Amino acid sequence: MNDRFLRACRLEPVDSTPVWFMRQAGRYMPEYRALRARYSMLELCRTPELAAEVTLQPLRFGLDAAIVFADILLPLEPMGAPFEFAAGEGPVIHHPIRDLDAIDRLRLVDPDESLGYVLQAIRILRSELQVPLIGFAGAPFTLASYLVEGGRSSQFARTRRLMLAEPEAWNRLMGKLTEVVRRFLRAQIEAGAQAVQLFDSWVGALGPDDYACSVAPHMRTLLADLETTGVPVIHFGTGNPALLDPMARAGGTVMGIDWRVRLDDAWRRVGFHKAVQGNLDPAVMIAPREVIQCKAREVLAQAAGRPGHVFNLGHGITPDVPPDEVAALVDFVHTQSPSLRSRRAVPAS
């Protein structure tokens, strides 16, 4: 069993820096596209054997962790907010949630009943994997923004308006989502997930004061509960480095770092008592290999061989990345990181 990833999450020394990639099972892989030609995205998610198969596909690159194939929106349908993936447009939620009545009609989900297919995929995977398995969920703010906007958005104006102008409705919505995410991640951990990641993909739309007032209280509740399970909790948000401090204060064993900030600055702000994950710019992955390696070396150098770094991109891998570059980068991180570590080595106390 390769446990580099779990050791790094716990700030323990490792032989070389562990590496996995957000969205590592996905459209850039020919094997994935072949399956998607036969099944929709949601069919793959909802068929445990297929979800497990897709999860395993990228492991041929030598990655140090697997992440169960699923989508952050899956809990929304059993909550009472069905959605579909419109071609080229991303998810569309048929009846956006914009007032207190709609919020009150949202149901608290029993994951065993309505999301059992994800749990079953986790059970299948645990019997096959030689690397740790990560479970995940969208964070409450990000799920709320999908519910309120009805899909993707560039500015999240409706979400921010609800948050600022109707704090009671907002807090009731966030409270429900927090409880659903809490139950879902606990169920994933019980099914066998050895770490979980919270994706707060759109939280960067907020400034630090609004985050502290309207999001952090819910995140504290959620993260405090998850941390009692003992599995590492990766807390990832994108888009606004000014949120790193309040997000780290809200909780998480490992902070996921967006590419738009230097890893060394980010880690200093988060505090060295937490592990960090990241943060190569995903756009680099379609550049020539020497550029990828140069930028990856910078990330490793900023981590400075300090225990507690999980190498990853600063956001999901994009569909145009050549699979060979993924394999080459995994190998590069594994072979280069030990020398960076030894260069920093000082006599231990």
| Number of other residues whose CB lies within 10 A of the CB of residue 271 | 12
The single-letter DSSP state of residue 277 is E
168: exposed, middle or buried (Cβ count in 10 Å: 0-12, 13-18, 19+): exposed
> Rounded CA gap, 141 and 312, in Å?
23
Q: Which stretch binds a second copy (CB under 8 A): 11-19, 27-35, 78-86, 235-243?
A: 235-243
Measured from the CB atom, the residue of 82 and 90 that comes closer to a second copy is: 90
**Catalytic pick among 3, 10, 39, 71:** 71
Contact 340, 309 (CB under 8 A): no
| Number of other residues whose CB lies within 10 A of the CB of residue 86 | 10
Q: Is-catalytic flag, 265?
A: no
Binding-residue pattern over the window 172 to 211 for a second copy, x denoting contact by CB under 8 A: --------------------------------xxxxxxx-
How far separated are the first and last CA of the chain, in Å rounded? 30
DSSP per residue, 324-342: HHHHHHHHHHHHHHHHHHH
| Number of other residues whose CB lies within 10 A of the CB of residue 100 | 14
- Options 239, 307, 323, 338; binder of a second copy; rule CB under 8 A: 239
Q: How many residues bind a second copy (CB under 8 A)?
A: 39
- Per rule CB under 8 A, is residue 150 in the interface with a second copy? no
> Among 257, 201, 196, which Cα is nearest to 227's?
196
Measured from the CB atom, the residue of 82 and 207 that comes closer to a second copy is: 207
CA angle 30, 33, 35 (to 5 degrees): 115
Measured from the CB atom, the residue of 107 and 289 that comes closer to a second copy is: 289
- Per rule CB under 8 A, is residue 227 in the interface with a second copy? no
Q: Which of residues 245-274 bind a second copy (CB under 8 A)?
A: 259-262, 265
Measured from the CB atom, the residue of 239 and 338 that comes closer to a second copy is: 239
Binding-residue pattern over the window 277 to 316 for a second copy, x denoting contact by CB under 8 A: ----xxxx-xxx--x---x--x---------------xx-
> Among 206, 192, 193, 264, which Cα is nearest to 237's?
206
Q: Is-catalytic flag, 71?
A: yes
- Per rule CB under 8 A, is residue 160 in the interface with a second copy? yes
Measured from the CB atom, the residue of 15 and 265 that comes closer to a second copy is: 265
Q: Is-catalytic flag, 46?
A: no
**Active-site residue numbers?**
23, 27, 36, 71, 146
**Binding stretches for a second copy (CB under 8 A):** 154-157, 160-161, 164-165, 204-210, 239-243, 259-262, 265, 281-284, 286-288, 291, 295, 298, 314-315, 318, 320
